[in-house]
Structure 1
């Protein structure tokens, strides 16, 4: 990521220096306006170095540091990017290109402000029906509320936002509630007593379950002497258990309803995969401990964090339905009717959002709740998925 900060910073400064020397220095603006314009350009050019300094040089990733980093990134996108668009418009000889540049620039600012103030808080419920002839009769009609990637530490108003989330899930009256990992953003203390009390209100006849995501493992804690990863993870799991959630840690249990049962597996994020978390394909992974002694004739529901595990799960003969999160649609998605839409996530992931089928098995990827990197979501609104299981062809 370092190269990206350095490249963007150098590019921005170079372009601004060129435009200032060639056009703005001699423009008939008046000394006061010219000085103010120069000051604003210089300050905005410092945003990317500031973002780099916050991320790399500050001793630890506290909640305040991470939120400040996100706001600096958003300010960069709202100032520097529109300015570059205006510059591009002035490359055209005709006035129409200049007006178009200004229009797109102002639209870009409005888009990011909408993403930060409106879309990021526009909680939506996606209803999905999954049909399988392998599903036991007693589970026909079971409703699963699935959400993921809460990232508590980056929520602007954690208690307000989580209270609304909990109330929405409870109003759906699900039979089973599942969480797909990344409950926290950096450290377990984000799951404080007030937030724990709110999330502890979630309840369902078949239970509330979660798995561990990459952020939950503590790999983003810098000051590991003050809080090591193992302690962070164990305390996070304990706090979830105190809320009434069960954390499935590379294991399989059986859910019973009527006289039938299905196998339910949970796969924790392996910290060894940190450098592969955005990779298209993962190295060989041994899932033997997860599915040990699990009969393949049993309908299997698998909950994991990263969707790249799907091919490994199905290759092992399991995952009639696999649920994952992690991608967030990279917090940018243009929805086109009832299609999956368009997102830069397509460039990194084979499966990145919504429902996929392969050889009679299904994968659903939830777009998550929190916003990492910048406190905004552009079209990829926070999602609760309500899944109805149906028995049939």
Structure 2
């Protein structure tokens, strides 16, 4: 769907450029005056094609290629969108307004690729339930998601900021809901491992679609299963506990709750953006008493209905969507292109006594920019509801 959106915008931009140049020519503009805007339009309109062609030609999705692809797409967006804004206002004979707004859009794109991409936002969420035992009243869980290490511009600086921010919240537990790397395990290098081992609270994690190696093209050199194995081993070396379709039990003040982790199934690669998914594997819940309050960590939020149907997931923590790194807030409501793909795409959802929370993540995919969908750390506080006693 993202590819379709990019191709649609590319076609629309190229069509708009053609008609504007044609209109200027009909008005009698000199050929010399048209050369520069024509060359600029052609050059920028070809950027998505350059990314697509190079993607076919390269042997593997190396870090260098992924950086080129992401920043080329950002450069295309940062030049095409302001131009389209200008064209629109030029059509209604407000060219000066169009120029001003076009410059504002360009500046906004630059801001999104710098401050907007890196400034962390802490979202505090309180979950109240009769099923939360009294011993867990006030228990604090910090959720992170979708770091996508291969797309981080300054790993040491940005990762340290994440770790320090989480530690200042003093959670009892840190949960990571998948997509630690972008393409391959080598992105989780010694520097990243050293910094991400610095959480003061215990860390549990699950795998996401980018962790399992399905985007490695040269599978002869690095099979997907081997990539996944090494991603997991490196997380374990950092002191993280990777939940691979399993459950652990948390204890506090003599009470217990269950924490289940569902691994990303590579078979879902082509369905990862579907609104509906096949039934979830119940392996993670084998032998888990349904009388205990259950927290389920899963990468894909589309699996929430199946988790609830299985009788678990009082609180389900997911990631994956990023709100497509673009969220517009207006009159107390939010909109994102993610709404076109996902039924539930960001933040908190409550249904039939269970809660889903979709963390917007901290990293980037496709283009290195965030606008509105800021990098997120979520701090959950569990509350026992005494009115149910």
Shared fold (TM-score, shorter chain, > 0.5) = yes
How many Å separate the matches in 2 of 1:219 and 1:228?
Answer: 9
Out of 15-24 and 238-247, give the one that drifted further: 15-24
Matches within 5 A, 1:292-307: 292-307=286-301
Q: Deviations over 1:51-94 (max 9, x none)?
A: 212333322111111111111111111112222232232323xx
Q: Deviations over 1:348-389 (max 9, x none)?
A: 212111111111111111110001111100111100001100
- 1:50 matched residue in structure 2: 50
Does 2:138 align with 1:141?
Answer: yes
- 1:323 matched residue in structure 2: 317
- 1:223 matched residue in structure 2: 218
- 1:38 matched residue in structure 2: 38
How many Å separate the matches in 1 of 2:174 and 2:103?
Answer: 42
Question: Does the Cα contact within 8 Å between 2:178 and 2:207 map onto a contact in 1?
Answer: yes
Q: Deviations over 1:194-217 (max 9, x none)?
A: 11000001131xx21000000001
Matches within 5 A, 1:79-90: 79-90=79-90
Does 2:236 align with 1:235?
Answer: no
Out of 237-246 and 274-283, give the one that drifted further: 274-283
Out of 142-151 and 354-363, give the one that drifted further: 354-363
Does 2:248 align with 1:247?
Answer: no
How many Å separate the matches in 1 of 2:132 and 2:173?
Answer: 16
Does 2:189 align with 1:188?
Answer: no
Detail structure 1 runs of 4+ shifted over 3 Å in the superposition. Answer: 1-15, 24-30
- 1:169 matched residue in structure 2: 166
Question: Does the Cα contact within 8 Å between 1:323 and 1:364 map onto a contact in 2?
Answer: yes
SS of 2:295's partner is strand
- 1:75 matched residue in structure 2: 75
Does 2:288 align with 1:289?
Answer: no
Q: Residue 209 and residue 27 in structure 1: after superposition, are their counterparts in 2 closer, same or farther (change >3 A)?
A: farther
RMSD: 1.9
Question: Does the Cα contact within 8 Å between 2:21 and 2:34 map onto a contact in 1?
Answer: no
Could you tell me how far 1:13 is from its partner in structure 2? 3.4
Could you tell me how far 1:326 is from its partner in structure 2? 0.6
Q: Residue 298 and residue 5 in structure 1: after superposition, are their counterparts in 2 closer, same or farther (change >3 A)?
A: closer
Matches within 5 A, 1:81-160: 81-92=81-92, 95-96=93-94, 98-160=95-157
TM-score w.r.t. structure 2 length? 0.94
How many Å separate the matches in 1 of 2:21 and 2:294?
Answer: 63
Could you tell me how far 1:15 is from its partner in structure 2? 3.4
Number of equivalent positions: 385
- 1:17 matched residue in structure 2: 18
Could you tell me how far 1:342 is from its partner in structure 2? 1.9
SS of 1:223's partner is coil
Question: Where does structure 2 lack aligned partners over 5 or more consecutive residues?
Answer: none
